[in-house]
Amino acid sequence: MSAVTKRSLAPSAEEQLQKRADAIRLQVTQGISKPFKKVIDVSSGDIHSTGMKPITFVRQVLAGCLCPDLLDSDTLPHDSQLRARKLLEHCDGGSVGAYAESSGMAYVKSTVAKFISARDGGLSSNPAHIFIASGSLRAITVVLKLLDQGEGAHRTGVMIPLPFPYTLPRVLERVGSVPLPYSLTEEAGWRIEKKELHRAIQASKGHCWPRAIYISNPGNPTGHVQSRESIQEVIEFAAQNNLFLLVDEVNQDTVFGMGSEFVSYKKVLAEMGPPYSHTVQLASVHSLSNGILGECGLRAGYIELVNVDEHVMLFAETLLCGDISTPITGQIALDVMADPPRPGDPSYCLYRQEVESRRNTLRRNMHRSAEFFNSLPGFHCPPVQSGVFIYPHLTLLPTALTHAQGLGVEAGLWYCERLLEEEGVCVGVNECMGKAVTQSCPPGSNWHLRMCVLMPPDALKEVLCRLQAFHCRFLKGF
């Protein structure tokens, strides 16, 4: 086992739940009797797995690229054929079977640059500063690898929010960075507080070298959206402390909260003017999985680097060589995400209708789920502004706590394990770390569940129904 592997030996609570879900799923296919027909996994943001249908246009373009014969018939709409032809022109040998440049197809990078520029009100975006990777995690890994990883007190510290996206710790672990947690203030809508940032960086002194701050905005799993002012504060903090800003903006497409608006860190940085705009190093990450297409299985995402030395960018290219290239199919989908059908195009109406319907489903499901959780004793769920996760707060009673302690399990994990075993619903779980929480209740009694709500309404009904049945039984027992 390598050092890396050794550190990875102990699966996290999340990973234990996931493994158990996989095992139960296998048992179900083997015909072993369970109190439910199938496992529903709502712990990740994988919306296709819970029944969301793909957006037609992206699939048509992909089918055309894969089977060029389809481009000579009238099976596919004209604009998807045109797009497929255009993309194939930019594949070596006119085939998606050829390798692309390590950092992504030049054509797709230029589409992405135009998308970013339009999003940021015309701010320029250079395709040479964009790197395509097979998903946002790979993109984040590449950025972290660009930072010097020293030894001992020189190890690279990366500030990360509490709560964090559940896949983040493994990424840090893999590259050998030290996580430096800063707590988001739940009672203030998961605000990032300057004081807390200062506390966190002070606490790192002597045991690592803080070099980057990771931000998730719009927030995963918290669903908050930072204001322009809050972003400015973080940029100032990064500048003062010479930190690289690693901004995960994969939820930029899914802001629905009244009065909330996504503004990119890059835009705010540019608007702040010198010295910030020319010095603060920034990487912004976006992905196919979390964008409105929700195409997790196709594996593609991108990073844009701002104010990063040209020489360092060359290394990003070298690091990406390890992947040889992001799957071309993913890159094609990225092109469609960044440049969807426009008014007047044959596919525009259907595209718009599908996207609008998806957004409406998300809004309605979020509302319905919040109402649901707020109606359950022990749960509390403030409004969510963005993303596909609802993140309700669960307070467990002392009886439940004592019982879990007797079993040697953490109470929140135990709740979720039982939910999985009894009702086949797999949710994510985190212990609450906020000060307000731990002051009022004994440790171990406050938890958050993480649940993706973007799914067909019937599927959501089924999930909530199972959750309710379980929770009532649980309350009765403990």
Name residues contacting its own copies, limited to 261-300 (CB under 8 A). 293-299
Output 234 or 303, the one with its CB closest to its own copies. Answer: 303
Which is nearest to 331 in space by CA: 304, 302, 305? 302
**Maximum alpha-carbon separation in the chain:** 68
Q: How many residues bind its own copies (CB under 8 A)?
A: 77
What residue has token string 């995960």?
248
Instruction: Note whether 67 binds its own copies by CB under 8 A.
Output: yes
Return the residues of window 84-103 that contact its own copies according to CB under 8 A: 91-93, 95-101
Packed helices 348-375 and 457-477: angle between N→C axes, nearest 10 degrees:
10
Return the residues of window 171-230 that contact its own copies according to CB under 8 A: 171, 174-175
Instruction: Note whether 248 binds its own copies by CB under 8 A.
Output: no
Q: Which of 2, 30, 124, 439 binds its own copies (CB under 8 A)?
A: 2
Output 150 or 398, the one with its CB closest to its own copies. Answer: 150
Output 175 or 306, the one with its CB closest to its own copies. Answer: 175
- As measured in angstroms, the least distance from the Cβ of 247 to its own copies is 20
Instruction: Note whether 125 binds its own copies by CB under 8 A.
Output: no
Binding mask 141-160 for its own copies (x = CB under 8 A): x---xxxxx-----------
Name the token pair of 34: 């369970």
- As measured in angstroms, the least distance from the Cβ of 261 to its own copies is 28
Return the residues of window 346-385 that contact its own copies according to CB under 8 A: none
Q: Which of 193, 233, 323, 339 binds its own copies (CB under 8 A)?
A: 323
Q: Which of 66, 82, 162, 313 binds its own copies (CB under 8 A)?
A: 66
Sole window of 54-62, 268-276, 365-373, 402-410 interacting with its own copies (rule: CB under 8 A): 54-62
Sole window of 43-51, 193-201, 214-222, 273-281 interacting with its own copies (rule: CB under 8 A): 43-51
Output 151 or 229, the one with its CB closest to its own copies. Answer: 151
Tell me how far apart the alpha carbons of residues 347 and 368 are, in angstroms, rounded to a whole number: 31
Instruction: Note whether 44 binds its own copies by CB under 8 A.
Output: yes
Instruction: Note whether 35 binds its own copies by CB under 8 A.
Output: no
Sole window of 138-146, 246-254, 367-375, 419-427 interacting with its own copies (rule: CB under 8 A): 138-146
Instruction: Note whether 48 binds its own copies by CB under 8 A.
Output: yes
| Beta carbons of 174 and 4 less than 8 angstroms apart | yes
Instruction: Note whether 30 binds its own copies by CB under 8 A.
Output: no
